[in-house]
Amino acid sequence: MSSHSPETADWPGRYYHIDQVLNTPGPRTDEGFLAGDGVKNFLREQAKILVIGAGGLGCEILANLALTGFKDIHVIDMDTIDISNLNRQFLFRPKDVGKSKAIVASEFIMQRVPGVKVTPYFGKIQDKDDDYYMQFNLVICGLDSVEARRWINATLVNLVDPENPESLKPMIDGGTEGFKGQARVILPTITSCYECSLDMLNKPTAFPICTIANTPRLPEHCIEWASVLEWPRVHGDKKLDTDDPDHIGWLYRVAAARAAEFKIEGVTWSLTQGVVKNIIPAIASTNAIIAAACCNEAFKIATSSAAYLNNYFMLIGTDGVYSYTFEHEKRDDCPVCGGQALEMTLSPDMSVEELIEMLTEKQDIQIKKPSLSTPTQQIYFQAPPQLEQATRPNLEKKVSELVPPNGEVTVTASTLPFSLSLRISYST
């Protein structure tokens, strides 16, 4: 047993192995690496790092960062702990169910690794302003939401001021799905951003409304029917909260009854929650691999002790184990980091409603509930209700009636902090 008290912040030898990396340059170190006390002091006393997400990836990331020498860590998560989290989110215990993930995770890390300060925020990333994000040297995302990734990606790109090098905040993004995972390094405005690679994502599963309404064949059809058709019919304008157990319980009961009516088996509470929250299966060991990759990149960026990833790492464990890295290139027409309008050729007969549907389905755009306008008029706005009602007649009109050839359409959505510019031309 060690003679040093567990409360001692830095007992002798605590960072012995890490110091072997930081004390002297080597054949693999970055050209700008300044070995010695300066880099160790920056890592342990000055670097401030933000972790977004305290779930399966986030728990691993927080532990790795604390044990690697980062001492000023902040974590954001809007979720509370569910009993189903306990098989892989190892910072939590059964007594923590119902509590804030961010708060419990931060308390656990500080107790386990004395001397490390973890500051939690129980809420949404959208609650914080630019000044909040400007304080960090580095951001690591362990998110399970494409929308949240798109939001923080655009926010960090918008922060960049060419006159202020400190405004560039490297973002490391990790994600897992079963035995597969990915980690990437994004230097806002310099490398490809998250938005540049939307076309690499699997297209979200969508079930035809006619099948859901009339001829369900799968348990998922019954759950979609309950959430998409029955909830608004019964509850009116009341918003479905997928984090509310009472709401999930209502959907489960209604979906189970419909499944029984059509002799369909397999509707369960967990499946109901999985369908409406689009939950992706997670395996603890895959989370550990991807979190380790993310934290190694954070360590390399913070210390320059080795060349960091350029810029994409993929792990595929479904057929043995296969991994590879590649450089994902910037898109010139990326609405976030490209700064150019997206060229789009439409049929002269296409309606505004059809254009909106195309924008939601297009793999490299994927904007939910887009609102459209030109420099001179509002074409269609999803909200507020009065504006939606006023612009609703335009849905049936042809785009060509409202937008001249080579005209620009601005697309916005409440879930994204950027606008997309379309330059419209028409096929002959």
Extract the tokens encoding 285: 């060991």
Q: Is the peptide bond before 311 cis (omega within 30 degrees of 0)?
A: yes
pLDDT attached to residue 184? 95
**Torsion 141-147-151-156 (CA) sign:** positive
Helices 245-261 and 269-277 sit at what angle, rounded to 10 degrees?
Answer: 110
Find out whether 244 and 251 touch, Cβ atoms under 8 Å.
no
Extract the tokens encoding 391: 């612009």
Find out whether 97 and 83 touch, Cβ atoms under 8 Å.
yes
Residue reference for tokens 């910037």: 330
Catalytic residue of the set 59, 141, 210, 337: 210
Extract the tokens encoding 297: 């990149």
- Count of H-run helices and E-run strands, the chain: 15, 13
Distance CA 397, CA 335 (A): 26
Classify domain 342-426 by CATH architecture. Answer: Roll (3.10)
Q: Is 193 a catalytic residue?
A: no
Sequence-distant (6+) residues with CB within 8 A of 46 are: 72
φ, ψ for residue 104, nearest 5 deg: -65, -45
Q: CA nearest 53: which of 367, 289, 287, 332? A: 287
Q: DSSP code of 80?
A: B
Extract the tokens encoding 397: 């009109």
CA distances from 180 to 69, 281, 284, 320 (A): 28, 10, 12, 11
pTM to 2 decimals? 0.76
% of the chain exceeding 90 in pLDDT: 43
Q: Containing H/E element for 314?
A: strand 312-316
Distance CA 399, CA 346 (A): 9
Distance CA 186, CA 174 (A): 11
φ, ψ for residue 160, nearest 5 deg: -65, 125
pLDDT attached to residue 3? 40
Domain boundaries along the sequence of the chain = 15-202+282-326, 209-277, 342-426
Distance CA 106, CA 370 (A): 37
pLDDT attached to residue 6? 46
209-277: CATH topology: Arc Repressor Mutant, subunit A (1.10.10)
pLDDT along the chain (428 residues), means of 10: 46 82 81 85 93 95 95 94 87 93 96 94 92 95 87 91 91 93 93 86 62 82 91 89 89 94 90 80 90 96 90 91 91 78 86 86 74 88 86 90 88 77 85
78 DSSP β-pair partners: none
42 Rama sector, left if φ>0, alpha if ψ -120 to 50, beta otherwise: alpha
Q: Which amino acid is at 145?
A: S
15-202+282-326: CATH topology: Rossmann fold (3.40.50)
Q: Which amino acid is at 426?
A: Y
User: How many Cα atoms within 13 Å fall on the side-chain side of residue 149?
Assistant: 22
pLDDT attached to residue 7? 47
Extract the tokens encoding 31: 């050209």
Find out whether 33 and 25 touch, Cβ atoms under 8 Å.
yes
Sequence-distant (6+) residues with CB within 8 A of 271 are: 219, 220, 223
pLDDT attached to residue 26? 78
Q: Do the domains 209-277 and 15-202+282-326 match in fold? A: no
Q: Which amino acid is at 368?
A: K
Extract the tokens encoding 131: 């000044």
